[in-house]
Amino acid sequence: MTTHSNQTLSADPGPAEPETAASAAARGRRPGAALSVGRLGSRFAALVVWLVLAVLYAALRPETFLTRGTFQTIFGSQQALVFLTAALLCTIIVGEFVDMSVASNFGFAAVLVAVLNVHHHWNVWIAAVAAIAVSTLVGLVNGWLAVHLGVNTIVVTLGMGTFLLGLGLWITDLTPVSGMPSGFAQIALHPIAGLPAGFYEGLVLMLAFAYVMRFTPLGRNMRFVGANREVSRLAGIRVNRLRLGAFTVAGLIAGAGGVIASAATGGFDATVSQSYLLPIFAATFLGTAILEPGAFNPLGTLLAVYFLATGILGLQLLGAAGWVSSVFYGGVLIIAVTLATLLHRRAA
Amino acid sequence: MNPGASAPRLSLSGVSVAYRRNRVLHDVGFAVGPAEIHALIGQNGSGKSTLVKVLTGLCTAEPGACVEIDGVPLRLPARLADVRAAGVAVVHQSLGLVPQMSVLENMRIGRLRARRFSRRIRWDRERAAAGRMFDRLGRHVPLDVAVHRLSEEDRATVAIARALQDTPHGGGLIVFDESTRALSRRSLEHFYEVLDDVVRAGTSALLISHRLEEVAEVADRVTVLRDGKLVEAGRAARRGSEGELARLMLGRALQAISSGGGHARPHAEPAVELADVIATRLDGAAVRVAPGEIVGLTGLADSGYDQVPYVLAGVERAASGKLLVNGDHIDLDRFTPAAALGAGVALVPGDRERAGLASGQTVAENAALPRTGTAGPRLSPIRRRAELAELIPWLDRLRLHPPDPHAVVGRLSGGNQQKVVLAKWLSRGLRLLVLHEPTQAVDVGARAVIVDAVKDAAASGCGVLVAGSDENELSMLCDRVLVFRDGRVHRELAGPCRPEVIVAAVFASSQRRPLRANREERVCP
């Protein structure tokens, strides 16, 4: 058993009690989780900043920030971003840099379900399944082009994203679609303990994703493919299948997110999806500074989404106008990517 | 001997591979016997790596090829899963480990098993499985440490242990595809000590290497490829037969390269001097290079010697230090690559693909970069004709193959790429040429050309600094060798020195042990 771990302290994001790597190993836990006290700080530094931000806003605007409504806005309005970041993570973890089509794919699924239901009078559930199937297919096509034909991922997905955006505008005649049944809205809005169902769906998605990444062979294989394709291939991992699968699942998640978003508002405006593009990247990269420094990780990304929502809402409460979200997301993206680079350098 | 042992462990016959119209392997066949180290050698572009790719399924051989493992034909095109099931493991270049992952993860990746319902990995079982492999090797490495934190020797052990998982006890075959090229001599000794135990237990090894000294020292038999054709299969190897092997590989005798530079004019002025350099891995380093002198820098992996080239070229910033060149005192803490070039100092970096060349551009464009990169009026048109006129004599001298200035660099072999890097700088008058591992992963033919070119540069009055871990390379090139320890010069080996002397100085406490001391010298079958 390892004896070198005497000076190291191991901690888990979940059960935070310190223990030695040896005892962790005895329980058959994930290896390599032993961390020095110094790195412990960088895991939670972003969370401390989040807390400071919240306290600051609470101090400046106690009458509006410290309300149930604020809490509900922060946690209840981010469902779209949670699904979109999960979709982006699928491909980014296996080393594909970066899928630019997730936002448009999401938006296309959202308008497609609305158009099929409202204009073509399909049953809303069938329309939903059809929309998700189309998004999944889009992911598969992306993957096929990028993996089997070896076309540059950014170019393929940028083209695909623009293409889908155009298609979305075409099938909606450039106007927002609305009028989906209110019963269907329950899949997104049904309140549970004060928060809409969409919040829990995003939470379950991210927890499942984190589980796969942390505990299963699939997750470990994904990380290796992202780290070194040739080593993984020679280890017997079916690298191309995994990459293709990542693109496909990314499409599936984006589509499901789009359908839920459409349900929440009873319809969708095709142009809206573009406004998500930057926040997705900001949150995903900020996520690499949380919980697992230097690595793209689902739970870190989930926390980053709410971190960003807190920041924006607070600034709006302080009286900032509509431009603030662009400034904030753009700024955070730069800071987050810089942080990710620095952390990665230290981890390597 | 059991009956199965009479069939060769691996036998190939009639293997031909063509990429479009370009045939890279012609009807190649040879056999690897049980419990032997079989080396496969050949220049860059001779088809060695293609042969490995046929075995791992990345390349498809033309119909008529036959690959047998222990007498059982392998279905072609090969599927990696079948190959592994037949007991063949491949170790990739530079050991094929992912540095930021733990030893256990590296060992078990691709083999991880999940629990039935939760799909969680059973780390206790994975740990036991990895432990069994280290038990089989009789060596132990902590399983939870990230691979990049291990010593180089332990990393070599992990790579062998990992490959061993696919081979049955006392059988199977491990293919090492340039796996040892980044290892220092000490780690190399350790590597072959471990591998020798494995081979003696009955497993075979197919070794692909550029280092003929190493091949002659460790291999039982050698197969030689030249231009995609078999030159000789299963020739018995002997210590000291590297000259013979080089001749087979090149198809011509290699001119004996005299060791040492021999052009030094140590008292000629002005010398280039580096003094009191403090940087992340340097602590008071001082080096003096006279015009025409070739000085070698070496040391253990963490001794800092390999940072000197990058500090000198202004690529890595020093905290403090002075460079005396051409009578100017330059402060190194504000040194930049442009300033280095201005002072006549140029770097040939070790990592060719990343820092040496733009692989998508042509030979001419790469070679002209030093000029276009620092030219005065940036918007005036490039004088292509003059550029070429200046370059072509250099390409001739360096025997670039193909001798086409418009060839795309990425398509050239490693040795020829390195020639282009050299041509890029030699065509300019330099005061100091700094090289880092100039002949790493370069075949012997190109190596001789490169060594000659560097010596010519020195003879014309340029100072040369060579940082490297390959004692044979240093011995061939250098007038003096400086051995680093703890970020400064620890010992100076004056005069031309033999490889043994360099190794002994680097590893102070130890001698250069023969690799595989107990190899039985076999007779040619």
Pairing of strands B488-493, B272-279: unpaired
For B102-158, how does the pLDDT look when each residue is reduced to its tens digit (9 = 90+)? 999 999 988 888 888 888 888 899 999 999 989 888 888 999 999 988 888 888 889
Q: Quick one: tokens of B155?
A: 């990393």
- Out of A220, A227, A231, name the one closest to residue B112 (CB): A220
- The reported pLDDT for the residue numbered B267 is 53
For B93-102, how does the pLDDT look when each residue is reduced to its tens digit (9 = 90+)? 767 888 889 9
- CA–CA separation, A15 vs A30, rounded Å? 14
- Out of A28, A32, A348, name the one closest to residue B124 (CB): A28
What sections of chain A are H helices per DSSP?
Answer: 21-26, 37-60, 62-65, 68-76, 79-93, 102-114, 124-143, 153-171, 182-189, 197-215, 217-227, 229-234, 239-265, 277-287, 298-317, 324-347
Q: Smallest Cα–Cα separation from A121: which of A68, A179, A81, A70?
A: A179
Q: A217, B112: Cβ pair inside 8 Å?
A: yes
Q: Smallest Cα–Cα separation from B350: which of B441, B473, B445?
A: B441
Query: Beta-carbon neighbour count of residue B67 at 10 Å?
Result: 23
DSSP per-residue letters across A86-137: HHHHHHHHTT----TTHHHHHHHHHHHHHIIIIIS---HHHHHHHHHHHHHH
- A344: closest chain B residue by CA: B100
CA distance to partner chain B, nearest, from residue A294 (Å): 11
Chain A positions with Cβ closer than 8 Å to B: 2, 4-5, 21, 25, 28-32, 34, 212, 215-218, 220-221, 223-224, 227-228, 230-237, 347-348
CA distance to partner chain B, nearest, from residue A162 (Å): 29
Mutant choice from B58, B90, B111, B121 vs A, greatest count of A C-beta within 10 A: B121
- B122: closest chain A residue by CA: A28
DSSP per-residue letters across B72-108: EEPPSS--HHHHHHTTEEEE-GGGG--TTSBHHHHHH
Highest mean pLDDT: which range of B188-192, B352-356, B492-496 = B188-192
For B428-458, how does the pLDDT look when each residue is reduced to its tens digit (9 = 90+)? 778 899 999 888 777 778 888 889 889 988 8
Long-range contacts of B500-509 (CB under 8 A, 24+ apart): B500/B471, B502/B296, B502/B298, B502/B471, B502/B474, B502/B475, B503/B185, B503/B471, B505/B481, B506/B184, B506/B185, B506/B186, B506/B298, B506/B299, B506/B300, B506/B471, B507/B185, B507/B186, B507/B300
pTM assigned to the model: 0.73
CA distance to partner chain A, nearest, from residue B296 (Å): 29
- Out of B92, B109, B148, name the one closest to residue A220 (CB): B109
Q: Are residues B41 and B35 in contact, defined by beta-carbon separation less than 8 angstroms? A: no
- CA–CA separation, B157 vs B71, rounded Å? 30
Pairing of strands B204-208, B37-41: parallel
Q: A220, B148: Cβ pair inside 8 Å?
A: no
Q: A31, B102: Cβ pair inside 8 Å?
A: yes
Q: Are residues A181 and A172 in contact, defined by beta-carbon separation less than 8 angstroms? A: no
Q: B120, A216: Cβ pair inside 8 Å?
A: yes
- The reported pLDDT for the residue numbered A40 is 64
- The reported pLDDT for the residue numbered B354 is 60
Domain A4-29+44-347 sits in CATH at 1.10.3470
Q: Are residues B253 and B260 in contact, defined by beta-carbon separation less than 8 angstroms? A: no
Contacts of B191 (CB under 8 A, 6+ apart): B153, B156, B160, B180, B183
Q: Are residues A260 and A187 in contact, defined by beta-carbon separation less than 8 angstroms? A: yes
Work out the angle at residue A177's Cα, subtended by the Cα atoms of residues A171 and A180, and round it to the nearest 5 degrees: 120
Q: A348, B123: Cβ pair inside 8 Å?
A: no
Q: Which residue has the tokens 């089989």?
A: B136
Q: What is the mean pLDDT of chain B?
A: 82
CA distance to partner chain B, nearest, from residue A217 (Å): 5
- B89: closest chain A residue by CA: A234
- The reported pLDDT for the residue numbered B251 is 73
- Out of A29, A234, A235, name the one closest to residue B123 (CB): A29
In this predicted structure, the answer to whether residue B325 has a pLDDT above a threshold of 50 is yes
Q: B127, A25: Cβ pair inside 8 Å?
A: yes
- CA–CA separation, B17 vs B94, rounded Å? 25
CA distance to partner chain B, nearest, from residue A260 (Å): 28
- Out of B98, B100, B110, name the one closest to residue A236 (CB): B110
List of chain B residues whose C-beta atoms are within 8 Å of the C-beta of residue A239: none
- Out of A2, A217, A230, name the one closest to residue B121 (CB): A217
DSSP 8-class letter at B470: -
Q: A347, B100: Cβ pair inside 8 Å?
A: yes
**Between B222 and A28, where is the model more confident?**
B222
**Between B307 and B43, where is the model more confident?**
B307
- The reported pLDDT for the residue numbered B512 is 58
> A296 burial class (0-12, 13-18, 19+ CB within 10 angstroms)?
buried
Sign of the C-alpha dihedral, residues B266, B271, B275, B280? Answer: negative
- B104: closest chain A residue by CA: A31
Q: B127, A31: Cβ pair inside 8 Å?
A: yes
CA distance to partner chain B, nearest, from residue A31 (Å): 5
Contacts of A238 (CB under 8 A, 6+ apart): none
Query: Beta-carbon neighbour count of residue A23 at 10 Å?
Result: 12
List of chain A residues whose C-beta atoms are within 8 Å of the C-beta of residue B144: 2, 5, 21, 25, 31-32, 34
Q: Are residues B147 and B99 in contact, defined by beta-carbon separation less than 8 angstroms? A: yes
B77: preceding bond cis by omega (within 30 degrees): yes
CA–chain centroid gap for A31, Å, is 26
- The reported pLDDT for the residue numbered A220 is 87
Mean pLDDT by 10 residues, chain A (348 residues): 35 36 39 49 79 89 87 90 96 90 95 94 95 97 94 93 94 89 91 92 96 89 86 82 96 97 92 90 89 88 93 85 82 82 67
Q: B101, A227: Cβ pair inside 8 Å?
A: yes
**Between B14 and B254, where is the model more confident?**
B14
- A235: closest chain B residue by CA: B110
List of chain A residues whose C-beta atoms are within 8 Å of the C-beta of residue B151: none
CA distance to partner chain B, nearest, from residue A178 (Å): 41
Q: A227, B96: Cβ pair inside 8 Å?
A: no
A98: preceding bond cis by omega (within 30 degrees): yes
- CA–CA separation, B435 vs B457, rounded Å? 12
Mean pLDDT computed over B503-516:
67
- Out of B92, B113, B144, name the one closest to residue A25 (CB): B144
- CA–CA separation, B452 vs B426, rounded Å? 12
Q: A28, B80: Cβ pair inside 8 Å?
A: no
DSSP 8-class letter at A272: G
For B386-408, how does the pLDDT look when each residue is reduced to its tens digit (9 = 90+)? 777 878 888 888 888 778 888 88
Q: B113, A217: Cβ pair inside 8 Å?
A: yes
List of chain A residues whose C-beta atoms are within 8 Å of the C-beta of residue B97: 231
List of chain B residues whose C-beta atoms are within 8 Å of the C-beta of residue A347: 100
- CA–CA separation, B149 vs B120, rounded Å? 27
CA distance to partner chain B, nearest, from residue A188 (Å): 28
- A34: closest chain B residue by CA: B144
- B91: closest chain A residue by CA: A234
Contacts of B116 (CB under 8 A, 6+ apart): none
Q: A32, B101: Cβ pair inside 8 Å?
A: yes
Q: B98, A228: Cβ pair inside 8 Å?
A: yes
Pairing of strands B294-299, B480-485: parallel
CA distance to partner chain A, nearest, from residue B158 (Å): 14
Q: Quick one: tokens of A46?
A: 């972003």
Q: Are residues A252 and A139 in contact, defined by beta-carbon separation less than 8 angstroms? A: yes
For A232-279, how does the pLDDT look when each residue is reduced to its tens digit (9 = 90+)? 887 778 889 999 999 999 999 999 999 999 999 998 998 899 889 889
* Domains (range + CATH), chain B: 3-250 (3.40.50.300), 272-360+430-506 (3.40.50.300)
- CA–CA separation, B273 vs A17, rounded Å? 55
List of chain A residues whose C-beta atoms are within 8 Å of the C-beta of residue B122: 28
For B345-391, how does the pLDDT look when each residue is reduced to its tens digit (9 = 90+)? 888 887 766 666 776 777 887 777 766 555 444 555 666 777 778 78
List of chain B residues whose C-beta atoms are within 8 Å of the C-beta of residue A31: 102-105, 123, 127, 143-144
Q: HEC profile for B259-291?
A: CCCCCCCCCCCCCEEEEEEEECCEEEEEEEECC
Pairing of strands A177-178, A267-268: antiparallel
Contacts of B505 (CB under 8 A, 6+ apart): B481, B483, B491, B493
List of chain B residues whose C-beta atoms are within 8 Å of the C-beta of residue A233: 56, 80
- The reported pLDDT for the residue numbered A35 is 46
**In this complex, how many residue pairs, one in chain A and one in chain B, have their CB atoms less than 8 Å apart?**
97
Q: Quick one: tokens of A300?
A: 């870190």
- CA–CA separation, B352 vs A112, rounded Å? 50
- B93: closest chain A residue by CA: A231
- Out of B81, B102, B122, name the one closest to residue A32 (CB): B102
Q: A218, B119: Cβ pair inside 8 Å?
A: yes
List of chain B residues whose C-beta atoms are within 8 Å of the C-beta of residue A2: 142-145
Sign of the C-alpha dihedral, residues B501, B505, B511, B516? Answer: negative
